[in-house]
Amino acid sequence: MEDLVRKAIAGSDADYTEVRIEREERSQADFQRDKLENLEQSSELGGIVRCLCDGGWGIAVLNDPAKLPAKVAEATRTARLVAARRDEPVKLADAPVVQESVRAEIENDFRTVPLEKKKRLAESYNDLLLNHDKRIVSTRVRYNDSFREVTYANSEGTFIAQEIPDVTLLLVAVASDGAANIQQGFKSLGEAGGFDVVLNREDEARAVAKRAIDLVAARSVEGGKYTVILDPELAGVFIHEAFGHFCEADFLYQNERLKKIMTIGTRFAERNLNVVDDGYIPGLRGNTPYDDEGVARAKTYLIKNGVLTNLLHSRQTAKKMGASPTGNARAVSYAFEPIVRMTNTYIEPGSDTFEEMLRGIDRGVYAVKAYGGETVFEQFTFSAAYAYEIRDGEVGDLLKDVVLTGNLFETLRAIDMIGPDLKIEGSSGGCGKGEQSPLPVTAGAPHIRARKVTIGGK
């Protein structure tokens, strides 16, 4: 394969050529209620070529590596077509030439675990969920693993081989009171690790089933504006969804107005807020030792002491904005070109305790875990898996149907307290941007408190 890649690049007429070949082995055991929906072990091989000619990009995707030279020629042809119809040529920021091999170091490699054992593990969690209570009407337990070997090379001389392991587990329990009241509890986890990651999760499975049952009896939150405490997971989703995406330079580098809004040095929050995107923290599934342009990982402060400090860049956006590449050009698979993405994104810990946060809240909401989230420019929305009422400084009843929404800039300024208890976790899903989903990322934070957050409801 290495020869094939080197030869294809050597034979290219383009100004810049890069090739990425990906081989994946994956397996899945997926239970839904009492049925094994899927049990599979599959493999996949594919690649992508990107050529830059006279400042235009041509891209070609393939499954058969024997077609590499033909695809380099095709990408060169389309790149020229783009260059002829584009006013401003694309240029790339400099990046060091790298020759490196990154091996995965995982304990209990899931590739050596028989498929039957993966099935039995998923089944055991599923049984726990199903047998918890007769009000559990449905369940979902999905185990996934993936081992990718990614070979990246470009015409500048960079050649990188990386192994990327990923293992995820999703536990869902759906409970119903027999009528239309249908509620769910879930736990979703993922790591760049081995089979051990998904073992010994029985207590979490029980908690999932219990939460589904509890939510059936919970009351709906009343819509309105509240002082809100977010748990680390939900605060992580907030910082990823609402703010992180805003820092992806490909979204604003050609837009003067947005660039102005996101000028480095602008104050966005109180002095206590620090936000980081870090390309490597052992075990986290957002890890990207080298990104899909061959740029090494970095720890990038997006916000330092409340002030916008950096954006996340590809080589193209960095060149255009006079910045340095940050190792955030990532592709979800061989079928896609790299675009600017986050890796492991988190809010740094502060010093405000949970008790201090509760103090002074007459009527508030403690929102826990994220069910989902979406953001369009400065508007964000995300739903909590569950929440608790806060009354007169104390955590009270369980609440359901808690969807938080707001304006990013207002909400960042409204963060007034940050706890010491940073937690960064991966989920079984991932991040979506454009067509590229789900990309493994993690997000995290300590507990944080924000004033005047809108919560939808009846």
Partner 1 sequence: MNALIERLAARVDQGEVYRIRSRTVPIQFTSGHLDSIKTNETEGMALRVIADGKLGFATTTDMEDQNTLIDAAVAASAFGDTVDFRFPETDAPTPVSVYDPAIAALSEEEMITLGDHLISRLTKLDSEVDINISLAKSIERVSIENTSDRQLEDKRTLFSVSLEVSKAREGDIFILSDSASVRRFDDFKPEAMLARLTRLLEYGKKLAPVASRPLPVVFTPNGTITLLLPLIVGFNGKAVYMGTSPLKGRMGEKVFDERFSVTDDGTVPFGPRSGGFDDEGIPTMATSLISDGTVKAFTYDLRTAALAGTRSTGNGYKGGLFGGGFRNVPAIGMNNVIVAEGKAAEEKLISEIEEGLLVESVLGLGQGNINAGEFSNNVAVAFKIENGRVVGRVKNTMIAGNVYTLLRDSLIGVGRKAEWAHGALLAPAIAVDGVSVVGEGT
Rounded to a whole number of angstroms, the minimum distance from the CB of residue 374 to partner 1 is 4
Q: Which stretch binds partner 1 (CB under 8 A): 13-21, 41-49, 192-200, 275-283?
A: 41-49
Is position 257 an interface residue for partner 1 (rule: CB under 8 A)? yes
- Using CB under 8 A as the binding rule, whether residue 372 contacts partner 1 is answered as yes
Does 177 engage in binding with partner 1 (CB under 8 A)? no
Smallest separation (angstroms) from partner 1 to the CB of 339: 10
Strand, coil or helix: 127? helix
Q: Any idea how long the chain is? A: 458
Q: Is 113 in the site for partner 1 (CB under 8 A)?
A: no
Backbone angles phi, psi at 344, to 5 degrees: -115, 115
Nearer to partner 1, 280 or 371 (CB): 371
Of 197, 330, 312, which Cα lies nearest the Cα of 244? 312
Q: Name the segment binding partner 1 (CB under 8 A); options: 254-262, 300-308, 321-329, 440-448.
A: 254-262
Q: Do residues 248 and 328 touch, judged by C-beta distance below 8 A?
A: yes
Range 145-164, binding partner 1 (CB under 8 A): none
Tokens in use for 161? 């081989």
Give the binding range for partner 1 (CB under 8 A) out of 2-10, 51-59, 294-302, 354-362: 51-59
Tell me which of 101, 108, 131, 181 binds partner 1, using CB under 8 A: 181
> Candidates 10-18, 34-42, 269-277, 443-451 — which segment interacts with partner 1 by CB under 8 A?
34-42
Q: How far apart are CA 288 and CA 383, in angstroms?
A: 28
Q: Which is nearer to partner 1, 20 or 297 (by Cβ)?
A: 20
Q: Which of 144, 401, 419, 448 binds partner 1 (CB under 8 A)?
A: 401
What backbone phi and psi angles, to 5 degrees, belong to 33? 50, -125
Q: Which stretch binds partner 1 (CB under 8 A): 54-62, 149-157, 273-281, 388-396?
A: 54-62
| 134 touching partner 1, by CB under 8 A | no
DSSP 356-419: HHHTT-SEEEEEEEEEEEEEETTEEEEEEEEEEEEETTEEEEEEE--EEEEEHHHHHHHEEEE-
- Asked if 351 is part of the footprint of partner 1 (rule: CB under 8 A), the reply reads no
Q: List b or e across 96-124, with b for residues whose CB sees 16 or more CB atoms inside 10 angstroms.
A: eebeeeeebebeebbeeeeeeebbebbbe
Question: How far is 185 from 175, CA to CA, in rounded Å?
Answer: 8
**Letter for the amino acid at 49?**
V
Sites for partner 1 among residues 276-295 (CB under 8 A): none
Binding region for partner 1 (CB under 8 A) out of 6-14, 190-198, 227-235, 247-255: 247-255
Does 255 bind partner 1 (CB under 8 A)? Our answer is: yes
Query: Could you give the string, one character per residue 73-112, with x where binding to partner 1 holds by CB under 8 A and - elsewhere?
Result: -xx--xx-xx--xxxx------------------------
Q: What is the full DSSP assignment across 309-325?
A: ---B--HHHHHHHT---
